[in-house]
C-alpha cells in the first residue's frame, strides 16, 4: 500500500477531474446529458428548499451559484478519486498510458452510470484521460522540476481541452434553429411592421426583442427530439389525445405578437420581452379533446418536470407555439412546442410542453409550491430603460409599458417628482391582444430632474404608485430616476 498521494498527484487529479467535467460538456452541451446535471439535481434535492428559494430571491440567477459550486466540488472529488486510482495502477506498471486509459475508462463508466449518455461518457473519459496522459506518473524519484513540468503540462492540457470544449459545448447548447418556410410572406410582413413601429431611441429594445430573456427552473433545460415528441391531452376530457409534431402542424397556423414577463421581474429588471410567435391555437386542440372540468382548471406539464396549474379559461385563447420570430422555436424557449397564455405571468407559458392535463380539482404548480403567486394576469408596468441628452440639448427618457390583455392606454411622465404629468408618445400598437408598447418623452432639462413614470391600462386604471417587490405576486409601483444634466 502506498501512503498519502503526492501533492503532484493531487494536482493532476483535480485538473483531470475538471477536464472530465469540461469534456462531458463539450460533447453534449448544457443539457440533461451533461454529467453535472444529475449531480446538480441531487444537490438541489438535498439542499433544503427554503435555502434555494431564499438564495434565488436574494441573489437572483446568481443564487444558483450556491448549489452549482457544491456540484462542481462533488464531481471533482468523485473524478479526482478515480484519477488517483488510475495513477496508482499506472505507476505499478510504470506506464503513463496505462494510467490514462484506466482513468479515462473509469471516468467514462461512472459518467455513463450517472447520465446515461454515451457521448457524455466518452467526453468525460477523454477529458480526464488526456490530462492524466499529459501530466500523470512521475518517475520513481521525482525531481521537483520534473514534477512541476508535468503539472504545468496538465494545466496546459486542461486549458486546451477547456477552451475547445467550452466552444463545442456552447455550439451544441445553442443548437441552431431553421427559418420557417410556410407562410413566409406573412411572417416577414409582421416582422417588418414591428421594425417600422419601433422607436429609434438609443438603448431602447425594439418591439421584437433582439435578445429574449430566459427563466428555467431546471439548470439543464431538456433537448427534445421533435419526431419522438408527443403532446398528451389527458384527464377530464372526452377524447384523450396524443399528438405528434406533424399532427399539430396540420392544424391551422397563426402568427401572434406576444409579450412575456416573469413574475420575478423587478421594477427595474429586464425579464420582459416581446416576440412574434407562430403556432396553433390551443382551442383547436381542446375542441378535439372536449374537456369537462369541475374546477375549470388545468395543469400543463413539461419534459423538464416543470408543471403549472391555472384556469382552463385562461388557456383556451392561448397558442401552442413552435416558431419564434420567423424561425423554429429555439431550444431554450421550449422547443419543439411551448404554451403562450395571453396576459398571464411568464411562468404559465410552459416550455417543452408534453401534457395538457385537464383537472377535476385544484392543484399547486411548481412556483406556487415555492411561495410565488404567478398564475394570474400580469400587473401593469411602465419601464424606464434609457435616458440621455440629444445634440440639440433636449433630454429624453424612454422605455416599454405592458399590461397584458388589458393593453396600454397611456403612459405619463413627470419631470418634477410627481407634481405635474404629461403624456408620453406611444409606439403604434402591434396587432395582437397581449403586446407591450414603447413610450418616449422629450423635455428641455433645467438643472436636475426627478423623473417619474406611470401607466394607465386599457380599462382606464392607473397603475398603483406604491412599490412592492417581485416576490410573491409581481413587482408594482411607479419607476423613477434622477436626471442629472
* Minimum CB–partner distance for residue 412 and ligand MTE (Å): 28
* Minimum CB–partner distance for residue 431 and Mo ion (Å): 25
Choice between 91 and 400, CB closer to ligand MTE: 400
The runs of H, that is alpha helices, within 136-281 are: 144-173, 184-197, 245-249
Out of 79, 257, 306, 483, the residue judged to bind ligand MTE by CB under 6 A:
306
Please, which of residues 326-345 interact with ligand MTE by CB under 6 A?
A: 333
Q: 461: which residues sit within 8 A by CB, 6+ positions away?
A: 380, 406
Choice between 53 and 193, CB closer to Mo ion: 53
Neighbours of 431 (CB within 10 A): 12
Chain length of the chain = 485
* Surface-to-core class of residue 375, CB atoms within 10 Å of its CB (0-12 exposed, 13-18 middle, 19+ buried): buried
Smallest Cα–Cα separation from 67: which of 48, 81, 83? 48
Mark 206-225 with x for binding to Mo ion (rule: CB under 5 A) and - for no binding.
---------x----------
Rounded distance between C-alpha atoms, residue 405 and residue 123, angstroms:
48
Report if residue 215 touches ligand MTE, rule: CB under 6 A: yes
* Minimum CB–partner distance for residue 303 and Mo ion (Å): 18
Stretch that binds ligand MTE, among 190-198, 211-219, 230-238, 248-256 (CB under 6 A): 211-219
From Mo ion, ligand MTE, none, interface partner of 217 (C-beta below 5 to 8 A by class): ligand MTE
Q: 362: which residues sit within 8 A by CB, 6+ positions away?
A: 295, 297, 309
Which H or E element spans position 23?
helix 7-28
* Minimum CB–partner distance for residue 334 and Mo ion (Å): 13
Q: What residue is closest to ligand MTE based on CB?
A: 346
Choice between 396 and 436, CB closer to ligand MTE: 436
Are 255 and 278 in contact, with CB atoms under 8 Å apart?
yes
DSSP-derived secondary structure for 165-178: HHHHHHHHHTPPP-
Choice between 352 and 396, CB closer to ligand MTE: 352
Are 388 and 395 in contact, with CB atoms under 8 Å apart?
yes
Choice between 158 and 267, CB closer to Mo ion: 267
Mark 227-266 with x for binding to ligand MTE (rule: CB under 6 A) and - for no binding.
---------------------------------x-x----
> For the packed helices 64-93 and 7-28, what is the interaxial angle rounded to 10 degrees?
120
* Minimum CB–partner distance for residue 338 and Mo ion (Å): 13
Out of 273, 308, 347, 457, the residue judged to bind Mo ion by CB under 5 A:
347
Smallest Cα–Cα separation from 245: which of 256, 264, 265, 230? 230
> Hey, what's the cell of 343?
396576459
Choice between 333 and 400, CB closer to ligand MTE: 333
Are 64 and 219 in contact, with CB atoms under 8 Å apart?
yes
Binding residues vs ligand MTE (CB under 6 A): 212-217, 260, 262, 302, 304, 306, 333, 346-347, 349-352
Binding residues vs Mo ion (CB under 5 A): 215, 262, 346-347
Amino acid at each position: 500500500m502506498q501512503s498519502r498521494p503526492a501533492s503532484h498527484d493531487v494536482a493532476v487529479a483535480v485538473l483531470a477531474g475538471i477536464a472530465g467535467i469540461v469534456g462531458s460538456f463539450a460533447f453534449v452541451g448544457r443539457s440533461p446529458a451533461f454529467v453535472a446535471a444529475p449531480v446538480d439535481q441531487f444537490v438541489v434535492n438535498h439542499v433544503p428548499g427554503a435555502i434555494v428559494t431564499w438564495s434565488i430571491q436574494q441573489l437572483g440567477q446568481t443564487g444558483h451559484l450556491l448549489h452549482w459550486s457544491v456540484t462542481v466540488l462533488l464531481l471533482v472529488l468523485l473524478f479526482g478519486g478515480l484519477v488517483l486510482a488510475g495513477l496508482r495502477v499506472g505507476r505499478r506498471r510504470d506506464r503513463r498510458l496505462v494510467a490514462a486509459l484506466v482513468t479515462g475508462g473509469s471516468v467514462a463508466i461512472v459518467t455513463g452510470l450517472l447520465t446515461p449518455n454515451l457521448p457524455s461518457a466518452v467526453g468525460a473519459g477523454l477529458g480526464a484521460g488526456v490530462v492524466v496522459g499529459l501530466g500523470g506518473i512521475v518517475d520513481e524519484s521525482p525531481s521537483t522540476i520534473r514534477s512541476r513540468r508535468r503539472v504545468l503540462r496538465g494545466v496546459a492540457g486542461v486549458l486546451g481541452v477547456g477552451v475547445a470544449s467550452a466552444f463545442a459545448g456552447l455550439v451544441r447548447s445553442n443548437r441552431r434553429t431553421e427559418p420557417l418556410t410556410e407562410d413566409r410572406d406573412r411572417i416577414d410582413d409582421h416582422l417588418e411592421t414591428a421594425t417600422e413601429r419601433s422607436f429609434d431611441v438609443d438603448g431602447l429594445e425594439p418591439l421584437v426583442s433582439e435578445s429574449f430573456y430566459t427563466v428555467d427552473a431546471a439548470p439543464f433545460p431538456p433537448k427534445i427530439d421533435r419526431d419522438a415528441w408527443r403532446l398528451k391531452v389527458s384527464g377530464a376530457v372526452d377524447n384523450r389525445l396524443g399528438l405528434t409534431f406533424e399532427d399539430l402542424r396540420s392544424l391551422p397556423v397563426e402568427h401572434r405578437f406576444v409579450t412575456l414577463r416573469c413574475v420575478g421581474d423587478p421594477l427595474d429588471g429586464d425579464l420582459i420581452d416581446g416576440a412574434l410567435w407562430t403556432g396553433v391555437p390551443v382551442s383547436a386542440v381542446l375542441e378535439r379533446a372536449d374537456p369537462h372540468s369541475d374546477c375549470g382548471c388545468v395543469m400543463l406539464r413539461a419534459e423538464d418536470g416543470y408543471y403549472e396549474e391555472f384556469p382552463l379559461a385562461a388557456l383556451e385563447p392561448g397558442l401552442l407555439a413552435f416558431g419564434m420570430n420567423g424561425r423554429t422555436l429555439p431550444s431554450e424557449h421550449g422547443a419543439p412546442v411551448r404554451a403562450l397564455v395571453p396576459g398571464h405571468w411568464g411562468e404559465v407559458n410552459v416550455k417543452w410542453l408534453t401534457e395538457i392535463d385537464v383537472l377535476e380539482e385544484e392543484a399547486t404548480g411548481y412556483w406556487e409550491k415555492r411561495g410565488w403567486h404567478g398564475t394570474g394576469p400580469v400587473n401593469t408596468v411602465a419601464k424606464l430603460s434609457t435616458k440621455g441628452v440629444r445634440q440639440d440639448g433636449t433630454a429624453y427618457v424612454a422605455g416599454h409599458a405592458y399590461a397584458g390583455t388589458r393593453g396600454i392606454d397611456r403612459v405619463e411622465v413627470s419631470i418634477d417628482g410627481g407634481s405635474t404629468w404629461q403624456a408620453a408618445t406611444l409606439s403604434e400598437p402591434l396587432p395582437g391582444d397581449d403586446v407591450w408598447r414603447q413610450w418616449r418623452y422629450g423635455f428641455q432639462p433645467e438643472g436636475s430632474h426627478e423623473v417619474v413614470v406611470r401607466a394607465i391600462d386599457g380599462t382606464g386604471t392607473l397603475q398603483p404608485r406604491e412599490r412592492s417587490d417581485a416576490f410573491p405576486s409581481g413587482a408594482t409601483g411607479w419607476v423613477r430616476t434622477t436626471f442629472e444634466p
